[in-house]
């Protein structure tokens, strides 16, 4: 299919195009943004493909995107993306948009034999026999005028979405998995998907359980301060304080400026600029709300090699099911989420053992994964018998 390519940089042209696109049964789209300079990424370009045209929308000049966002939200129009997670998260961050009626080629590919997440070029090459040039994946999308080669890359990012959607939909139908892919895509259609726990980094720090109450409180406050400061300055968190220096600040804060002077790994400019704020975080009395939150953390599960072995064995059963049905294990139960399940973390998303996943794994395996009790092995006449 040959498409007419249009570059839009005037609001009136954009509105006209969106009025027409709103009546189409589907659109495909992608976004280009710069995220390494600011706390909130800068949206620089939106590429949209319709049945006849491709539109490159200069979002640095077209400020009001509401007519496009309405299309993203309206259930009548199917939205086709590849790795749309990043696109939808960005649109939600910037505009509060929650999509409706989505189809993602990366997710679909994970149901028909591809590893998840598979790259766009790889799927296009295998399914459509087309080789894509990816030399401009790190183009400066804020630059104006845009490099013509970068624009060609931007066109390729949506040009093959319709044909890929058609091909993957056929493959899903042959395997009776169209409903499974649709179920997986619906996770993007609820506002809760975009909620971010502000204490995520703090909770992921393995050293938390080795700290006393005052140290835990400071570490929690330090992570929160870094986010708040980055938002205030509109810079990435790493520009405020690099993650590798978090433990350095925690160790030094108890001993004042001399401890920072003695540490050569942390830039003098960084600690001198922020030490007053850090000391205030350290010296402020722990509040009752903070105590209550920190007490919910509990204690780490004691080492239980038998339990760990059992859970790892069960995960191999999960992977075996995926191999037999040609579904990516990383799509069904990502290793990071499985580790939460193994550790008994309250953070584990139990929805990952329902729906199409439960159908594929079977009731017994789901029950064993949730119970997590030790498995006993008995060898009988050359057969291996597992019981829980």
Which domains, from first to last, does the chain contain?
4-194 (3.30.420.10), 200-295 (1.10.150.80), 305-387 (1.10.150)
| Cis ω for the linkage preceding 117 (within 30 of 0) | yes
Give the residue from 235, 257, 249 showing the smallest Cα distance to 281.
Answer: 249
Beta carbons of 72 and 45 less than 8 angstroms apart: no
Least confident of 139-153, 236-250, 292-306, 348-362: 292-306
Element (H, E) at 29: strand 26-34
Least confident of 18-32, 60-74, 260-274: 260-274
What is the DSSP track for 194-229?
A: G---TTHHHHH-TTGGGS-HHHHHHHHHHHHHHHHH
Answer yes or no: is pLDDT of 144 > 60.
yes
Answer yes or no: is pLDDT of 190 > 70.
yes
Average pLDDT over residues 103-128: 96
Q: Cβ of 242: how many Cβ atoms within 10 Å?
A: 15
pLDDT band at residue 138, thresholds of 50, 70 and 90?
Answer: low
CA distances from residue 204 to 129, 194, 198, 220 in whole angstroms, order as listed: 42, 19, 12, 11
The pLDDT, as a whole number, for residue 343 is 85
Average pLDDT over residues 244-266: 92
Q: Is 148 helix (H, G, I), strand (E, B) or coil?
A: helix
Q: CB under 8 Å to 317, separation ≥6 — which residues? A: 365
């Amino acid at each position: 299919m040959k498409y007419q390519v249009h570059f839009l940089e005037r609001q009136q042209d954009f509105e006209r195009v969106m009025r027409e696109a709103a009546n189409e049964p589907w659109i495909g789209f992608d976004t280009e943004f710069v995220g390494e300079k600011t706390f909130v990424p800068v949206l620089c370009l939106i590429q949209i493909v319709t049945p006849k045209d491709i539109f490159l929308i200069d979002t640095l000049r077209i400020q009001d995107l509401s007519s496009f966002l309405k299309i993203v939200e309206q259930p009548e129009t199917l939205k086709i993306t590849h790795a749309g997670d990043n696109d939808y998260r960005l649109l939600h961050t910037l505009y509060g948009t929650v999509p409706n009626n989505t189809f993602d080629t990366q997710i679909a590919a994970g149901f028909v034999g591809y590893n998840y997440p598979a790259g766009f070029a790889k799927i296009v090459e295998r399914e459509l026999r087309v080789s894509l040039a990816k030399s401009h994946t790190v183009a400066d999308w804020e630059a104006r005028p845009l490099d013509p080669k970068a624009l060609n890359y931007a066109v390729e990012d949506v040009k093959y979405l319709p044909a890929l959607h058609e091909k993957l939909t056929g493959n899903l139908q042959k395997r009776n998995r169209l409903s499974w892919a649709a179920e997986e895509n619906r996770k993007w259609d609820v506002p809760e998907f975009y909620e971010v726990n502000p204490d995520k980094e703090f909770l992921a720090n393995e050293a938390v359980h080795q700290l006393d109450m005052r140290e835990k409180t400071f570490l929690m406050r330090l992570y929160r301060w870094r986010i708040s400061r980055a938002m205030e300055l509109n810079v990435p968190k790493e520009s405020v304080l690099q993650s590798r220096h978090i433990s350095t600040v925690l160790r030094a804060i108890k001993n004042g400026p001399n401890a920072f002077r003695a540490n050569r790994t942390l830039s003098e400019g960084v600690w001198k600029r922020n030490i007053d704020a850090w000391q205030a975080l350290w010296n402020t009395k722990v509040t009752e709300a903070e105590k209550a939150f920190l007490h919910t953390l509990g204690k780490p599960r004691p080492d239980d090699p038998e339990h760990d072995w059992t859970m790892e064995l069960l995960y191999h059963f999960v992977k075996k099911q995926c191999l037999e049905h040609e579904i990516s294990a990383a799509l069904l139960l990502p290793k990071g989420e499985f580790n939460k399940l193994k550790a008994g973390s309250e953070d584990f998303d139990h929805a990952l053992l329902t729906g199409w996943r439960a159908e594929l794994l079977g009731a017994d395996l789901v029950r064993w994964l949730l119970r997590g009790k030790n498995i006993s092995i008995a060898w009988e006449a050359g057969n291996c018998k597992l019981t829980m």
